[in-house]
Chains A and B, each alone.
Chain A
């Protein structure tokens, strides 16, 4: 017998069942429990009356900056303002969904490709955002390279206000209805990367971005 059979047989024996493979009835029971997608207790603040205020509050706790815009057309000007305020270079690698905006008009060089280690700023969209924890959710796809959110020192992330949800469970429900099966990477980002591995002192900017700026578009 192979390792798989030995391990499964040991588990079954210890739990008073014979053989080295679960029965169809056992598998059906497990699948039924899974299919219920039971949601556990959630903290009261996860269902705040003002969802946007809760999202902003959590962003600030994480060190994420944010801005709210009236329309998508305002994104280049806001990004230009943000980069200039932080004395950051006016260039970025961005997801192709933003390639059609007027970047030249805002004085920004837009590189329509996945970010590499030399790009100082990456611009991404998001699948949705979560108010409970100030989190954005990115789903990997050919049009949504994960590296753009990871390699540059600054990550600018666009969130549509209509896609702001209360909880992670809500984002999973949306994922099931809109996408179906999860893609390769379901990537939750909550603020700039950090570490506390030296003397438990929090330092912003470990391996990922030093700065995360969220642009909320109404």
Chain B
């Protein structure tokens, strides 16, 4: 996907003014947040499981090379071909090669965020291969020629009326108004593609070292068609997805759908190991697994390594007040919300995504919701420090931070400055107690007033109260 993250501020402003999007986002918010809260409340040992899951991920990441080699050995033993891709371009080249070598005309795809990351669809289409997205959300976006705006619910920003319009254009049938009828029409349109595709491409939520297994987690059943029906199955996934055992998977899968949408389990979970066996009625004759780096090794061993634990549930964005208001497209790349505010700068360069680590209120909800305990606000803070050190933020902002840092480390000076500031602020606020414009940072007061200080600082009040109460 084309990187647009450098335009975050501009795009966020546009999205805030988009009444249709605002309506669509409001509808979604409650369903995600309330659903997760209910599922967590009835679980009983949620915190213990989060701790265990973080350990599962850390254990594999601490010996990532050995886990990957063990996975490769077992997958190969079962007849799959494991490919390694250092970059997005390499991943696409490998898959286009497999397709052209095997005379593939049509690819049926189930949802894969890594494939969005590397622009796989475009590369396949350039090679003259038809690509059909089969996840309903991704199918809608393929018709709309838009990127996903959420990693679990890619078309969350679309209303049913917008979907109905896309279906009228694509299917040439009368306009539908009810969601079940639209879903049936899409099912019928896609069924034939599953049966006639030469190659299926899926992602893999995790890969399992002990058995060389890849896997899909879906409600629709499309991934099962994609991994079962075509004669070639190709998996594209990130190198960080490796875990040890089926038992590790059992723990993680208790967290994933609950965190994503409050479901205890998804309708389909398929652990796929190797090829069609002799006598099997279904299954592919060739299986290829493409393990993609494309920036992930930059996180290994860094002070941001915890980000590699991510299991792509979307809870952090569902709970983020910034995401809830601007939607996923404002973030300008594949991964929106708090997890994207860390991954995007690392994968595409901090200089191209400077606003993202700052697009946070630091309310901490994302860290609370994260099923694998990634300290997301802390990681964003580390990226902000890097920006400061590498002089990537505007001069005025850096000076302001340096000034604040100078004061904050000198308590007496800070107290004096705060005292004067509180009194000047109080005077500026006038009788209403509101400041309408702040010189130098007028963006802040463009759509709102700043409540004026009351005239005395916290420390002055604290001292006074302590005296009063002896």
A and B physically associate: yes
**A residues lining the B interface (CB < 8 Å):** 2-4, 6-8, 10-17, 21-22, 26-27, 29-31, 33-34, 37-45, 58, 61-62, 114, 117, 133, 135, 140-142, 145-147, 150, 167-169, 172, 175, 181-201, 203, 205-209
Residues of B within 8 A of A12 (CB): 65
Residues of B within 8 A of A187 (CB): 224, 268-271
Q: Is the CB of A3 within 8 A of B247?
A: no
Q: Is B191 an interface residue, CB under 8 A from the partner?
A: yes
Among A44, A197, A201, point to the contact of B154 (Cβ < 8 A).
A197
Q: Interface digits, B264-301 against A, CB 8 Å rule (1 contact, 0 not)?
A: 11111111111111111111000000010100010011
Q: Which residue of A lies closest to B70 (CB)?
A: A30
Residues of A within 8 A of B251 (CB): 39-41
**B residues lining the A interface (CB < 8 Å):** 24, 27-28, 31-32, 42-45, 48-49, 52-53, 56, 59, 62-70, 78, 84-86, 90, 134-137, 140, 153-156, 158-160, 163, 179-180, 182-184, 187, 190-191, 194-195, 209-211, 213, 219-222, 224-225, 227-229, 239, 244-248, 250-251, 253-254, 261, 264-283, 291, 293, 297, 300-302
Give the complex CA separation of A24 and B63 in angstroms: 13
Q: Is the CB of A40 within 8 A of B250?
A: yes
Among A8, A38, A39, A190, point to the contact of B65 (Cβ < 8 A).
A8
Minimal beta-carbon separation of A88 from chain B (angstroms)? 17
Residues of A within 8 A of B85 (CB): 3
6 A-B pairs with the lowest CB-CB distances in the bound complex, closest first: A208-B221, A14-B301, A142-B279, A206-B220, A40-B251, A145-B281
Among A37, A185, A206, point to the contact of B136 (Cβ < 8 A).
A206
Residues of B within 8 A of A17 (CB): 65
Give the complex CA separation of A8 and B261 in angstroms: 35
7 residue pairs of the A-B complex, CB under 8 angstroms, read A22-B65, A140-B277, A182-B271, A183-B277, A191-B267, A200-B156, A205-B187
Minimal beta-carbon separation of A180 from chain B (angstroms)? 11
Minimal beta-carbon separation of B44 from chain A (angstroms)? 5
Q: Is the CB of B253 within 8 A of A41?
A: no
Among A15, A30, A45, A142, point to the contact of B280 (Cβ < 8 A).
A142
Q: Is the CB of B267 within 8 A of A44?
A: no
Minimal beta-carbon separation of B18 from chain A (angstroms)? 17
Q: Is the CB of B27 within 8 A of A207?
A: no
Residues of B within 8 A of A203 (CB): 179-180, 183
Give the complex CA separation of A4 and B210 in angstroms: 19
Give the complex CA separation of A196 and B179 in angstroms: 9
CB within 8 Å for A200 and B267 given contacts A6-B86, A140-B283, A207-B222? no
Known A168-B250, A169-B250, A187-B268; further 10 A-B contacts with Cβ < 8 A: A7-B239, A39-B247, A40-B248, A187-B271, A188-B265, A192-B267, A200-B156, A205-B180, A206-B221, A207-B194
Q: Which residue of B lies closest to A200 (CB)?
A: B31
Among A44, A188, A198, point to the contact of B179 (Cβ < 8 A).
A198
CB within 8 Å for A40 and B52 given contacts A169-B250, A197-B135, A199-B159? yes
Residues of B within 8 A of A61 (CB): 264
Q: Is the CB of B153 within 8 A of A41?
A: no
Residues of A within 8 A of B62 (CB): 15
Residues of B within 8 A of A39 (CB): 247, 250-251
Q: Is the CB of B250 within 8 A of A167?
A: yes
Q: Which residue of B lies closest to A201 (CB)?
A: B179
Among B28, B271, B276, B282, point to the contact of A186 (Cβ < 8 A).
B271
Give the complex CA separation of A206 and B155 in angstroms: 16
Give the complex CA separation of A12 and B183 in angstroms: 47
Give the complex CA separation of A172 and B180 in angstroms: 36
Minimal beta-carbon separation of A57 from chain B (angstroms)? 11
Q: Is the CB of A184 within 8 A of B245?
A: no
Residues of B within 8 A of A44 (CB): 44-45
Q: Which residue of B lies closest to A169 (CB)?
A: B250
Residues of A within 8 A of B182 (CB): 198
Residues of A within 8 A of B48 (CB): 41
Minimal beta-carbon separation of A188 from chain B (angstroms)? 4
Give the complex CA separation of A48 and B48 in angstroms: 19
Q: Is the CB of A14 within 8 A of B270?
A: no
Q: Is the CB of A7 within 8 A of B297?
A: yes
Q: Is the CB of B32 within 8 A of A27?
A: no
Minimal beta-carbon separation of B259 from chain A (angstroms)? 14
Q: Is the CB of A195 within 8 A of B183?
A: yes
Among A33, A199, A200, point to the contact of B59 (Cβ < 8 A).
A33
Residues of A within 8 A of B253 (CB): 168
Q: Which residue of A lies closest to B293 (CB)?
A: A7
Residues of A within 8 A of B86 (CB): 3, 6-7
Residues of B within 8 A of A7 (CB): 84, 86, 239, 291, 293, 297
Q: Which residue of B lies closest to A153 (CB)?
A: B187
Residues of B within 8 A of A135 (CB): 265
Residues of B within 8 A of A146 (CB): 224, 228, 282-283
Q: Is the CB of A34 within 8 A of B209?
A: yes
Q: Is the CB of A193 within 8 A of B221?
A: yes
Give the complex CA separation of A167 and B249 in angstroms: 12
Q: Is the CB of B68 within 8 A of A8?
A: yes
Most buried by A among B49, B140, B267, B278: B267
Q: Is the CB of A200 within 8 A of B153?
A: yes
CB within 8 Å for A190 and B300 given contacts A4-B84, A168-B253, A195-B183? no
